[in-house]
Amino acid sequence: MTARIGVVTFPGSLDDRDTQRAIRVAGAEPVALWHKDKGLRQVDAVVLPGGFSYGDYLRAGAISRFSPVMESVIEQAKAGLPVLGICNGFQVLTEAHLLPGGMLGNDHLHFICRDQKLRVENADTAWTGDYRAGQEIHIPLKNMDGRYVADEYTLDKLEAEGRVVFRYLDVNPNGSLRDIAGITNEAGNVVGLMPHPEHAVEPLIGTGRTDGLPFFTSILKKLVNA
Which amino acid would we find at residue 18? D
Q: Where are the beta strands (DSSP E) in the chain?
A: 4-9, 29-34, 45-48, 83-86, 102-104, 112-120, 136-143, 147-149, 164-168, 180-184, 190-193
Cα–Cα distance for residue pair 43/59, rounded to 1 Å = 28
| 8 A C-beta contact, residue 138 and residue 197 | no
199 - beta bridge partners?
Answer: none
Q: Which residues are catalytic?
A: 87, 196, 198
Nearest to 132 by CA among 140, 143, 122: 122
Cα–Cα distance for residue pair 51/89, rounded to 1 Å = 8
Nearest to 120 by CA among 60, 63, 169, 72: 169
Cα–Cα distance for residue pair 190/127, rounded to 1 Å = 8
Cα–Cα distance for residue pair 223/216, rounded to 1 Å = 11
| 8 A C-beta contact, residue 6 and residue 41 | yes
